Structure 1
Amino acid sequence: MRDWPELVRVIRGDRVESVHRGAVVIAGPGGPVEVWGAPGAVIYPRSSCKMIQALPLVEAGLESDPRRLALACASHQGARVHVETASAWLDELGLGEPDLRCGSHMPYSEDAAADLIRAGEAPGQLHNNCSGKHSGFLALSKHLGADPDYIEIDHPVQRAVREAFEEVTGAESPGWAIDGCSAPNFACRLDGLALAMAAFAASGGDVRGRAMVALRDAMMAHPVLVAGEGRACTDLMRAAPGVAVKTGAEAVFVAIVPAQKLGIAVKIADGATRAAEAVIAALLVRLGLLDPQSDVARRLTHGPIRNRRGLVTGHYEVVL
C-alpha cells in the first residue's frame, strides 16, 4: 500500500501536514473504466458490501419492505427510527433482541446515547449499527429452518452469502475474517467490488437483477435508515439523488450510479474515514452527480478543519 498514490492531503496553514494514500476503481458492467492505484488489491469490503450480503434474503422473496431493505444495508447510528424498525422486523419473525448475534455497543447517535444514560439503561443489540443486516440474516435462517447460530462460516446463511458475493464480484474469495459484528466478511479484489456495484447499477430483470434494484432503490429512498442524521452516507444520498453510497470500516466506500451504469469502490490505505468520505464525494462531483458548491461536497472534500474554539486551522485537498 505504500506505493499507492496520494488521494487526500491535509493542509494546516500553508503546509501539507498529512497525506492519505489509496486506490479507486470506477467500473461499468464490462469492467474498470477509470483506475487510481492498485485495482487488484485484495481488501475486506467490511460494511460497504451489505447490499451483497442481503441478496439471498431478497432473492428468496422473504422481504420487500423498502425500509427494512434499507436497514439491512445499513451501518446505522442506533437512533430511535433504527431501533424501532429492527425491533418490529424481529417481532414479525417471532424473534427478539436475544436472537441477534451482533453484540452491543453504545449508539452512535448522541441523542440516543444520552437517552440511555439518563434512563440508566445499557445499550442492547438493536443499537448495534449492524442490527438490520443481522435481522435479515435471521429472516433467511428461519426460512431455511437452520440453527440459530447464523454467523458461523458453515451456516446455510453464510454459505448463501458467500455464493452471492463470489458471483457478483466475479471471483472466488481468497479468504475471510470476522467483522466487527461477528459475521464473516469475505475478501475480494477492489476491482471486483467495483464490478459488483456496477452490477447493482445496471441490473436486469431476472431474480438477481430485481433483488439488486430493490436494495439500491431502498437505500436511495430511505437514506436516513442507511446511516443517520449528519452521517456521510445519508448526506451524500440526499445531496446526489439517484445515487446509492455505502461506507465500510477501515476506509472503504462504494457507490452505485444507475443513470451511468457505474460502480465505484474506494479503499484508503491507512483506514482513515475522513479520506474515504472526501474521495467518494470528489468522485461524485467528477461524474456530475454532486454539486461541488453544495454544503456536503464542500464539507467532505475541503472542510474547513476547525479547532475547539471554532478557528479554521486547515482544510482537505483531494488529489485525483
Structure 2
Amino acid sequence: MPVPALAQNAPAPALNALPRHVPLAAQTRDGLVESLHYGSLIAVSAESAGSRTLLAAGDPLAPFYPRSALKPLQAVAMVRAGLDLPADLLALTAASHSGAAMHRDGAARILQLHGLAAGALENTTDLPYGVREREEWLRGGGVPTQLTQNCSGKHAAMAATCVINGWPVQGYLDPGHPLQKLVAETVRGLTGEEPSGTSTDGCGTLLFALTLLGMARAFGRLAAAEMHPGGAPAECPEATVAHAMRRHPEMVAGEGRDVTELMRLVPGLLAKDGFEGVQLVGLPDGRAIALKISDGGDRARMPVAVRALEALDVDTAPLADIATVTVLGGGRPVGLLHPTDFLPATSPAPETL
C-alpha cells in the first residue's frame, strides 16, 4: 500500500522535543517485567482551594492531543449556544459510545428533535466501537455508518446547535464556522490555555494541542460546577454537562466499558477517555487527574488512573476489577498489568496554576 504524501514528507521530531515520559505501568509474567507503558500524569486541587499540583509524573506540560476527552468541553460550548437536550442525550453528546441500539437511537433522536436526518452528519463512517455491539451489528448485516460511529452523538448535537442558532448546518466542521469558533473559545476558557496547535480528529472535528495541566484544570471545573460552594445546585453549562454524564454513564461509553464502571462505582466522579491512551477524571470537590499513555495503548490507562485516585485518598476498593488486568498462561493467572511505583519519583511541576 503506498504511503500518503503527507506521511512521506513529515519530518521526524527532534529528540530534544520528545516528551519526557516515565514508566507508569508494567505487565509482569511470573515475576519478570514483560512490558512497560510510559506516560505522563498530573493531578490538581480545586480552584476554590487554591489550585495547585497535587502529584505529577513525566512531562505534564508537554503538548498533546486530548482526542475524545475534549467532548465534554465541546458539549459545554453547545449548551452555551442554546442546546437543550434530555440528560441522556446530552450525555451522548459527550460520548465515545459503543454503538449499542440506545446510542444509535439517541443520536437519531437528537437529529429528529431538530428537524434533521442522518444526512446532516459530517463525521466519518464506522462500525460500532464495542466488541459485542460490533458483532451484533455485523450479524444483522450492518455496514459502517455515521450513526454507528462512536462520535455520532456529538455530531448530531453539533448539527442541532447550528439549527438552534440559524447557522449553516453544512460545513459545521470548518474551523471558521461559528460553532467551531465557539468551541475553540470554550476550550481556551476552561483549560486556561492557548492551544499550541490544531489538527483534525478521526471523526473530522477540530482538535487542539493542549497540556495535561490544562485538561486537568478543565475537568476540575466541570466536576465542581454541579454544586455551588453553599451546596445549592448550580445552573450553568458546565454543571448541566457534568450532571448528564454522571446520571447516564452508560451513554458516555457503554455497558462493560471501564469509564462507565468508574463513574458508577465512585459517586460524583466524572470521567472521559480518549484515543491514544488519554484519561481524564474529575472529583466533586474540584480535584482532577489527567494522564496520557505514551504508546497510545488502551490497557494501561485505567490501572494508572486508579492508582492516582488512590494517591488522592479516594476509596478505590470498589474499583478492584478495573484497577489491574490479570495475565494468563495456559489459562491460569501468571502475572498482572499494574501501575509502577511512579509517585515517589515524580517530575517537578508548577505549584501555582
SS in 2 for 1:103: coil
Q: Residues 81-135 of structure 1: CA distance to partner in whole angstroms, max 9, x if unpaired?
A: 1011111111111111111111211112344333332332313211111011111
Match of 2:22 in 1: 5
* TM-score under structure 2 length normalisation: 0.84
> What is the CA deviation profile of residues 23-75 of structure 1, one whole-angstrom value per residue up to 9, with x for unaligned ones?
11111222423221212111101001211011121112321411111101100
Q: 1:8 to 1:53 in 2, by over 3 A?
A: same
Which of 276, 291, 300 is equivalent to 2:316? 291
| Greater CA drift, 54-63 or 244-253 | 54-63
Secondary structure of 1:301's counterpart equals coil
2-structure distance, mates of 1:14, 1:312: 12
Unpaired segments of 5 or more residues in structure 1? Answer: none
Question: Given the alignment, which residue of 265, 281, 285 partners 1:239?
Answer: 265
Distance across 1 between alignment mates of 2:214 and 2:336: 32
Structure number, greater radius of gyration: 2
Give the alignment's TM-score, normalised by structure 1. 0.92
* C-alpha distance in 2 between matches for 1:108 and 1:233: 14
- Tell me how far apart the structure 2 counterparts of residues 239 and 288 of structure 1 sit (CA, whole Å): 15
- Aligned equivalents of 1:67, 1:196: Cα separation in 2: 22
1:191 match: secondary structure: helix
> Which residue type is aligned with residue 26 of structure 2?
R
Equivalent position SS for 2:299: helix
Shift of the 198–110 alpha-carbon distance from structure 1 to 2, 3 Å rule, reads closer
Could you say what secondary structure the match of 1:202 adopts? helix
Instruction: Provide the residue aligned with 1:116 in structure 2.
Output: 137
Amino acid at match of 1:176: T
Work out which of the residue numbers 277, 290, 299 in structure 2 matches 1:251.
277
Which residue of the partner structure matches residue 105 of structure 1?
A: 126
1:75 matched to 2:96: yes
SS at match of 2:337: strand
The answer to which structure has the higher helix fraction is: 1
Partner residue of 2:237 out of 206, 211, 223: 211
Which residue does the alignment assign to 2:35?
A: 18
* CA distance in structure 2 between the aligned counterparts of 1:144 and 1:102, rounded to whole angstroms: 20
Matching residue of 1:56: 77
Q: Give runs of aligned pairs for residues 144-293 of structure 1, distance below 5 A.
A: 144-147=165-168, 148-203=170-225, 210-258=236-284, 260-292=285-317
> What is the CA-CA distance between 1:140 and the residue it aligns to?
1.5
Q: What are the ranges of 5 or more consecutive residues in structure 2 without an aligned counterpart?
A: 1-17, 229-233, 344-353
Give the match's secondary structure for 2:154. helix
RMSD of aligned Cα (Å): 1.9
Distance in 2 of aligned mates of 1:61 and 1:8: 42
Identity %: 34
Of stretches 144-153 and 117-126 in structure 1, the one that deviates more from structure 2 is 117-126
Provide the aligned length of Structure 1 versus Structure 2: 313
Q: Secondary structure at the match of 2:214?
A: helix
